[in-house]
């Protein structure tokens, strides 16, 4: 009973620490992006001020509207205060509440990046397991060549090629993420297969599937789960060129538009969102690993 209580206390404490670290990093990420935007040359420039149909008073009003963003710490504290009440501000460039923009765009990115990620994992795992299970040079060469070739092509080129070939955007994301998963998982599996107890299991005549399920996966699993967390961040990064060039109205395209139009509220919110998703994915992987870790009775 006491042991169980102690275990629960340890889990709660480490979870609280993890959540605290995530919150601190997310807040710092938002502040970092806000500071970068504020320090950028031409931060005050607003294309609408060049509109000849606006009179001096309207131009002054436009300038006034952005006056609150000059003190970056003041802006950020104000942003956090309204965020706590559910108001994420209004996009300067698109003239819409950030909250509704995120609500509209997020499902597109989740679908495109999610399907892309799933495809990438399926392809990479299939190739990595084939290379490690059957250990024939041809499989190894095939996987390495394919992944190496895609690793050499910039993400934006793959997005452009998907436009030219009328291929879906998720395929481009899959091809961007796949080589990274393949390289890492193949190395992890190869290292696991080289362990003495697995070689001994093979020598004793254990079937390949049984060796994989009972001996290889418990060794390679934690690292593969950690990799799964990291690939979420890679897929999110890849969604920027893919959505921008393929014309998909998702978070990636929004980030692209926000960066080009120096839209401070939108950029800060996107940085916070992207940082949060990345950290949650990594922490989720850590939690799964912790839960799967064998414990002494």
Partner 1 sequence: MNAARKLACVVVLAVCAVSLAANWLAPAGYARQFREAPSAPPSRQHLLGTDEVGRDRFARVLYGTRISLLLAPAAALVSTALAALIGGLAGYLGGIWLRLARGFTDLFLSLPWLFLLIAVRALLPLNTSPLVSVLITFLILGLLGWAASARVLSTSADALRNSDFVLQARASGLHGPRLFFVHVLPNLKPVLYAQFWISIPVFILAEANLGILGLGVAEPLPSWGSLLRELEGMISFREEWWRLVPLLLLIVVMTSFQTLLSNEEATA
Are the C-beta atoms of residues 211 and 198 closer than 8 Å to each other? Answer: yes
Q: What's the first-to-final CA gap in the chain, in angstroms? A: 13
Our CB check for partner 1 shows the closer of 211 and 258 to be: 258
Our CB check for partner 1 shows the closer of 105 and 215 to be: 105
Residue 64 CB, shortest distance to partner 1, in Å, is: 23
125 contacts partner 1 (rule: CB under 8 A): no
Residue 264 CB, shortest distance to partner 1, in Å, is: 10
Spatial separation of the C-alpha atoms in residues 134 and 228, rounded to whole Å: 24
Which spans in 165-262 are helix H?
169-193, 196-203, 208-211, 217-246, 251-260
Residue 192 CB, shortest distance to partner 1, in Å, is: 18
Our CB check for partner 1 shows the closer of 211 and 267 to be: 267
Residue 248 CB, shortest distance to partner 1, in Å, is: 15
CA neighbor of 129 nearest in space, from 205, 207, 217: 217
Our CB check for partner 1 shows the closer of 226 and 259 to be: 259
Q: Residues 176, 105, 79, CA angle at the centre, nearest 5°?
A: 110
DSSP state of 49: G
Footprint (CB under 8 A) of partner 1, residues 18-77? 24-25, 28-29, 32-33, 36-37, 40-43
Spatial separation of the C-alpha atoms in residues 194 and 191, rounded to whole Å: 5
Spatial separation of the C-alpha atoms in residues 204 and 59, rounded to whole Å: 82
Taking CB under 8 A as the rule, which mask of x and - marks residues 156-185 in contact with partner 1? Answer: xx--xx-xx---------------------
Instruction: Check the CA dihedral 20-21-26-27 and report its sign.
Output: positive
CA neighbor of 219 nearest in space, from 186, 194, 201, 192: 192
CA neighbor of 21 nearest in space, from 280, 225, 267: 280
Our CB check for partner 1 shows the closer of 108 and 238 to be: 238
Residue 39 CB, shortest distance to partner 1, in Å, is: 8
Spatial separation of the C-alpha atoms in residues 278 and 291, rounded to whole Å: 20
Footprint (CB under 8 A) of partner 1, residues 134-153? 148-149, 151-153
Task: Please count the residues of this chain forming the interface with partner 1, following the rule CB under 8 A.
Answer: 48
Footprint (CB under 8 A) of partner 1, residues 222-281? 233-234, 236-238, 240-241, 244-245, 255-256, 258-260, 262, 267, 270-271, 274-275, 278-279
Residue 218 CB, shortest distance to partner 1, in Å, is: 25
Calculate the CA 67 to chain-centre distance.
Answer: 33
Spatial separation of the C-alpha atoms in residues 260 and 237, rounded to whole Å: 16
Our CB check for partner 1 shows the closer of 22 and 288 to be: 22
Residue 206 CB, shortest distance to partner 1, in Å, is: 31
Residue 252 CB, shortest distance to partner 1, in Å, is: 8
Q: What are phi and psi of 90, to 5 degrees?
A: -120, 140
Our CB check for partner 1 shows the closer of 192 and 232 to be: 232
Residues that bind partner 1 (CB under 8 A): 24-25, 28-29, 32-33, 36-37, 40-43, 148-149, 151-157, 160-161, 163-164, 233-234, 236-238, 240-241, 244-245, 255-256, 258-260, 262, 267, 270-271, 274-275, 278-279, 282
């Amino acid at each position: 009973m006491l042991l169980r209580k102690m275990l629960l206390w340890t889990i709660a404490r480490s979870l609280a620490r993890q959540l605290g670290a995530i919150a601190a990093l997310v807040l710092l990420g938002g502040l970092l992006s806000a500071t970068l935007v504020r320090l950028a040359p031409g931060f005050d420039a607003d294309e609408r001020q060049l509109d000849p149909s606006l009179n001096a008073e309207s131009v002054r009003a436009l300038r006034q509207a952005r006056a609150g963003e000059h003190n970056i710490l003041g802006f950020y504290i104000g942003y956090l205060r309204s965020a706590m009440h559910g108001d994420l501000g209004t996009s300067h460039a698109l003239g819409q509440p950030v909250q509704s923009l995120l609500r509209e765009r997020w499902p597109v990115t989740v679908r495109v990046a999610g399907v892309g990620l799933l495809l990438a994992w399926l392809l990479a795992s299939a190739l990595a397991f084939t290379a490690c299970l059957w250990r024939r040079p041809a499989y190894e060469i095939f996987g390495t060549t394919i992944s190496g070739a895609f690793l050499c092509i910039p993400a934006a080129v793959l997005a452009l090629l998907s436009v030219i070939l009328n291929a879906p955007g998720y395929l481009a994301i899959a091809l961007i993420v796949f080589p990274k998963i393949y390289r890492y998982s193949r190395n992890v599996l190869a290292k696991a297969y080289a362990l003495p107890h697995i070689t001994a299991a093979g020598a004793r005549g254990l079937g390949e599937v049984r060796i994989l399920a009972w001996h290889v996966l418990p060794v390679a699993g934690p690292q593969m789960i950690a990799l799964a967390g990291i690939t979420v961040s890679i897929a999110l990064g890849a969604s920027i060129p893919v959505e921008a060039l393929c014309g998909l109205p998702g978070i990636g395209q929004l980030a692209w538009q926000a960066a080009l139009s120096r839209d401070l509220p939108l950029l800060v919110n996107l940085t916070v969102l992207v940082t949060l998703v990345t950290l949650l994915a990594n922490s989720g992987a850590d939690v799964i690993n912790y839960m799967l870790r064998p414990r002494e009775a």
